[in-house]
Amino acid sequence: MEKALVPAAQYLRMSTEHQQYSFANQADAMARYATEHGFQIVKTYSDGAKSGVRITNRPGLKQVIKDVVDGNVPFSAILVYDVSRWGRFQDSDESAHYEYLCKSTGVPVHYCAEMFANDNSISGLIVKAVKRTMAGEYSRELSVKVKAGLVRLTRMGYKAGGYPPYGMRRMLLDVYGRPKQLLSDGERKSLATERVILVPGPEREIMVVQRIFREYADENRSLTEIARRLNKETIPFVQGGKWTTTTVSHALERPQYMGTHVWGRTTAYLSGPTKKVAPEHWAVCSNAFRPLVSAELFERARKRLANVTYRLSDEELLNRLKSVVAETGKLTSRTIQSSRLCPAADAYSRRFGGLMNVYALLGYDTLELIAQATTRLRGMIVRRLFIQQFLDCFAGQIEEVRASKRFRPMLRVRKTGLLMSVVVARFQPTRGTRQPRWFIEPSSYERKRTTILGLMDDRNASVTSIRVFRKMDYGNATNLKFALDHRWWQMGKPLERIPDLLAVLRDIR
């Protein structure tokens, strides 16, 4: 009686590195293996033109693993050409992990072109581990060689690949370096000995490039305004697209426009995340192309562009604020806004999640610095530090919440869900022998809540007394100025120590 064939799936992966790894060659080898070992291929998974370094961009392999782990597959084995087709993972344990996921569900992986049997024997395990490491090392070595080749071509003035900048075109050179033809989008050189350079494009596009640099560097127009004006005049971007702040910004930072060829400003090593590269490590060739703008105009635009907020690191933004503090002796929204060194105060709020976080990062949390701040800023800082005292004391029990960016943060007791407003009362000096008074102006939504109210000292630099209110009910007025003998103040429950808050809350509920 003829033995039944075992159903199997085949996984094919092809990058662009060798013809020997074409789908046809892999499929042929696996068909022979299946015939010799009693398998019948019933399903095919594939990843075409995909790197084996990471699983992220390989939907075929991800689908194999998902189907097998889910347990609903019509096959009992997976056939793969060799270890490198399964993947060139930089961590060999990752490759082993994906294989084990399959094997643990009863669907083993078979490498059809390898000399070892994938049978868990000591020799097979050792050879397979070596093969996995070699597969990853191949990608590392290839990456180094390709990068070296691209750096050499760039320093000779040749284009290393990719689309040309707006206003420029790709010129194909023959083996003797003579112009052969302009390349259209999607066209490539046909011989490895041919080269590509950049040349100026249509005159109308060149004039647009020059206009962008002139308006930004000399007329001080914003990136958004330049894009809006170009679109309003129906001047198309690449392939008829619209101009945006980003496309204008990218145009202003392309050194090709002043005739300098640059490659390697960013890197995505072995399909990893894109990172910026320091200028000293760029591949550069000066005077590689005919310039569209002068070096002087390009440099003026570059200097202005360097001060755009999103291009500055957090450290650079904070250092600029420190310079403002050293010059003015204080730090407020107004001083930030009026400084030519700093971007708008809103930019700091967006980057750091609010000016209060900026003040904390700059060290505005000591009594000396708080006393130097404006009255409004002191109130904000003291309130921030006041809230932090409760968060530190009741870690895991009380959390900070806010309805939206429009509202100030409040505190919430996690166990009960109780929301509490936190208000600090500003000290206001009085004349003569009158009692000292404090001033509060909470929002309407805060007055509806249980409230922790702190009285600030005579410098408005710290909280000296705390009371807890079931809710802040003092009439229809939007604000209140009160002394310590005020009937409303006396209605609050004193909080002598912050750790006693939960007990006080139970008493007033």
The continuous run of DSSP H or E covering 246 comes out as helix 245-252
pLDDT computed for residue 142 by the predictor: 72
Q: In this predicted structure, what is the pLDDT of residue 242?
A: 92
Last residue of a domain, one of 324, 344, 364: 364
pLDDT at position 433 is 66
In a domain, 349, yes or no: yes
Mean pLDDT confidence for 73-94? 88
The answer to whether residue 50 sits within a structural domain is yes
Residue 272 lies in domain? 168-306
CA 281 to chain centroid, in Å, comes to 23
Phi/psi-derived region of residue 401, left when phi > 0, alpha when psi is between -120 and 50, beta in every other case: beta
Q: Do residues 116 and 25 share a domain? A: yes
Q: Are residues 504 and 425 in the same domain?
A: yes
Co-location of 343 and 302 in the same domain: no
| Cβ atoms of 48 and 14 closer than 8 Å | yes
Is 487 contained in some domain?
Answer: yes
Q: For residue 495, name the pLDDT band (cuts at 50, 70, 90).
A: very high
At residue 128 the predicted structure's pLDDT band, cuts being 50, 70 and 90, is confident
Verify that 23 and 93 share a domain, yes or no. Answer: yes
pTM: 0.50
> Which residues are within 8 A (CB) of 108 and not within 5 positions of it... i.e. 6 or more apart?
77, 78, 102, 118
406, with CB counted inside 10 A (0-12, 13-18, 19+), is exposed
Domain boundary among 139, 159, 193: 139
388 has pLDDT over 60 = yes
Same structural domain for residues 266 and 289?
yes
User: In this structure, are 323 and 448 located in the same domain?
Assistant: no
Residue 388: inside a domain:
yes
488 and 394: one domain? yes
Q: Rounded to an integer, what distance in angstroms lies between the CA atom of residue 7 and that of residue 20?
A: 26
Domain containing 113 — which CATH number? 3.40.50.1390
pLDDT at 1 over 60: no
Q: Are residues 414 and 439 in the same domain?
A: yes
Confidence of residue 20 (pLDDT cuts 50, 70, 90): low
503 in a domain, yes or no? yes
Q: What is the mean pLDDT of residues 155-171?
A: 85
Residue 152 belongs to some domain of the structure: no
More confident residue, 469 or 328: 469
* CATH number of residue 425's parent domain: 3.40.1350
- Domain assignment present for residue 153? The answer is no
Query: Do 334 and 408 share a structural domain?
Result: no
Are 379 and 504 contained in the same domain?
Answer: yes
Whether 155 shows a pLDDT value over 90: the answer reads no
What residues form DSSP beta bridges with 401?
410
Average pLDDT, the chain: 84
Question: Beta strand 109-111 with 78-80: parallel, antiparallel or unpaired?
Answer: parallel
Report yes or no on 440 lying in a domain.
yes
Q: 201-233: per-residue pLDDT in tens? A: 999 999 999 999 999 988 888 888 999 999 999
Q: Which of 21-30, 170-179, 258-267, 337-346 has the lowest average pLDDT?
A: 337-346
How large is the average pLDDT for residues 370-392? 79
Q: Are 380 and 301 contained in the same domain?
A: no
Give the range with max mean pLDDT: 196-200, 307-311, 410-414: 410-414
Please tell me the predicted confidence (pLDDT) of residue 272.
62
pLDDT band at 508 (very low <50, low <70, confident <90, very high): confident
User: What was the pLDDT predicted at 414?
Assistant: 92
Last residue of a domain, one of 364, 390, 407: 364
| Mean pLDDT across 332-361 | 71
Q: What per-residue confidence (pLDDT) applies to 366?
A: 55
Given this model, what pLDDT does residue 253 score?
87
> What does the pLDDT average to over 109-133?
82
Position 459 scores a pLDDT of 83
Name residues whose C-beta falls within 8 Å of residue 227's C-beta, 6 or more positions apart in sequence: 242, 243, 244, 245, 247, 248
Q: Are residues 92 and 194 in the same domain?
A: no
Per-residue model confidence as pLDDT tens digits over 226-248: 999 999 999 999 888 899 988 99
pLDDT band, residue 509 (cuts 50/70/90):
confident
* Average pLDDT for 240-269: 86
137 or 211: which carries more pLDDT confidence? 211
**For residue 147, what are the CA distances in angstroms to 57, 120, 262, 383, 415?**
22, 38, 14, 54, 57
If one compares 19 and 378, the residue with the highest pLDDT of the two is: 378
Count the domains in the chain: 4
As to burial, measured by CB atoms within 10 angstroms (0-12 exposed, 13-18 middle, 19+ buried), residue 477 is: exposed
pLDDT of residue 31: 93
Cβ neighbours, 10 Å, residue 306: 11
What is the predicted pLDDT for the residue at 193? 77
